[in-house]
């Protein structure tokens, strides 16, 4: 996908998986590419339809949660494009966890019980539910790895004021509860996810994508308890299988490590997993759409003309 130039464009940013255009310092055009990243590294091959999957799940979820807090999204002019309000972002990722999985489990298994200022109970097994969901924020790094941070450090360093932090936590837990409700109706468990917020004036907005396979982990609810009792691996829908494949091939994003070769078959497998997650989370058939760059650009300009 080539980069564009739009009327009134004031900035352009190419992220790990999205291209973001700023229009008149007021609007953002966010294009979800088919790039895929893991361990903060962009993998060498794009995944067909991944951008459409992410964008359409995010749009669905933002609409399903806009009664909880205002969000940035205004229009979805193309399958992989969202247009919305430009906010001043908090440099924090609001990570919320319902189960002891992933980074939290790795921390726990190493013997630590404190994660981002949160005390994790003794006697837990991998994937067990926490007594109630926990918020384990991380810094939003411009480059390199995001770092765990505690609420006390967030307030002390001025990343958020005391009152804003309270609002961020309130929104995060309510959004997670809604995400779990939506997942439950589809026979899934929303295990953990992350939210990003920003401000326009004094108003806090939910930004970016939510409840997608890039920002969330889902388990299949059917058989969850039985698998826990037997100590078996949980069946999950998330990007974790990509991370596990990389780890198995001796890559964790560390210096000197080489990204393993991605075969056509593996790329196709990842694409199918993303589509499976769309259909499972949304409960609707995925309809692949491929627009030319020219058609995508035309739709974006038409949408911007209504806003600017």
Token pair in block for residue 257 = 């490590």
Average pLDDT over residues 278-302: 94
**190 DSSP β-pair partners:** 218
Q: Are strands 73-78 and 114-115 parallel, antiparallel or unpaired?
A: unpaired
User: By C-alpha distance, which of 5, 39, 44 is closest to 23?
Assistant: 5
Mean pLDDT score of the chain: 94
Helix axes 50-64, 162-185, angle to 10 degrees: 110
Q: Are strands 188-200 and 114-115 parallel, antiparallel or unpaired?
A: unpaired
Average pLDDT over residues 271-281: 91
Number of domains within the chain: 2
Token pair in block for residue 133 = 């969901």
Which structural domain range is residue 75 located in? 9-87+263-307
Are both 71 and 96 inside the same structural domain? no
Q: Are 197 and 208 in contact, with CB atoms under 8 Å apart?
A: no
Summarize pLDDT for 173-224 with one digit per residue, the tens.
Answer: 999 999 999 999 999 999 999 999 999 999 999 999 999 988 899 999 999 9
What does the alpha-carbon distance between residue 104 and residue 115 come to, in Å, rounded to a whole number? 7
Examine residue 203 and state whether it is found in any structural domain, yes or no: yes
Are both 93 and 222 inside the same structural domain? yes
Examine residue 81 and state whether it is found in any structural domain, yes or no: yes
Are both 93 and 224 inside the same structural domain? yes
- Is it the case that residue 142 has pLDDT exceeding 70? no
Helix, strand or coil for residue 99? strand
CATH code for the domain of 222:
3.30.470.20
Are both 226 and 301 inside the same structural domain? no
Are both 21 and 97 inside the same structural domain? no
Percent helix, percent strand, percent coil in the chain, to nearest 5: 35, 25, 40
First-to-last CA distance in the chain?
A: 25
pLDDT at 2: 61
Cβ-based neighbours of 90, under 8 Å, separated by 6 or more: 140, 159, 160, 164, 168, 196, 197, 198, 199
Phi/psi at 74 (5° precision): -120, -35
Examine residue 39 and state whether it is found in any structural domain, yes or no: yes
**68 CB-side CA count, 13 A:** 19
Are both 174 and 227 inside the same structural domain? yes
Are both 93 and 78 inside the same structural domain? no
Are both 79 and 219 inside the same structural domain? no
Token pair in block for residue 278 = 């769309």
CATH code for the domain of 60:
3.30.200.20
Examine residue 248 and state whether it is found in any structural domain, yes or no: no
Summarize pLDDT for 254-269 with one digit per residue, the tens.
Answer: 888 999 999 999 999 9
pTM for the model: 0.90
Q: How far is CA 223 from CA 133, 188, 230, 276, in A?
A: 21, 11, 11, 19
């Amino acid at each position: 996908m080539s980069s564009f130039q739009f009327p009134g464009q004031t900035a352009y940013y190419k992220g790990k998986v999205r291209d973001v255009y700023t229009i008149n310092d007021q609007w953002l055009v966010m294009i979800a590419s088919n790039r895929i990243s893991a361990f903060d590294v962009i993998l060498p091959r794009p995944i067909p339809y991944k951008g459409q999957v992410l964008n359409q799940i995010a749009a669905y979820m933002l609409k399903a949660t806009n009664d909880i807090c205002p969000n940035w999204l205004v229009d979805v002019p193309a399958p992989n494009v969202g247009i919305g309000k430009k906010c001043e972002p908090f440099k924090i990722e609001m990570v919320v966890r319902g189960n002891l999985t992933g980074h939290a489990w790795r921390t726990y298994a190493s013997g630590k019980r404190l994660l981002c200022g949160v005390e994790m109970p003794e006697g837990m097994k991998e994937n067990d539910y926490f007594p109630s969901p926990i918020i384990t924020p991380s810094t939003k790094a411009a480059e390199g790895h995001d770092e765990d941070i505690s609420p006390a450090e967030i307030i002390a360093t001025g990343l958020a004021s005391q009152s804003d932090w309270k609002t961020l936590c309130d929104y995060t837990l309510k959004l997670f509860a809604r995400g779990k409700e939506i997942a439950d109706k589809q026979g899934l468990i929303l295990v953990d996810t992350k939210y990003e917020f920003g401000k326009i004036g004094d108003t806090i907005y939910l930004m970016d994508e939510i409840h997608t396979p890039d920002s969330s982990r889902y388990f299949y609810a059917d058989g969850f308890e039985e698998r826990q009792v037997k100590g078996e691996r949980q069946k999950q829908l998330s990007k974790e299988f990509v991370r596990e494949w990389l780890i198995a091939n001796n890559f964790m994003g560390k210096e000197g490590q080489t990204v393993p070769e991605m075969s056509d078959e593996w790329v196709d497998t990842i694409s199918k997993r993303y589509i499976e997650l769309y259909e499972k989370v949304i409960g609707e058939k995925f309809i692949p759409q491929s627009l030319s760059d020219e058609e995508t650009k035309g739709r974006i300009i038409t949408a911007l003309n209504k806003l600017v």
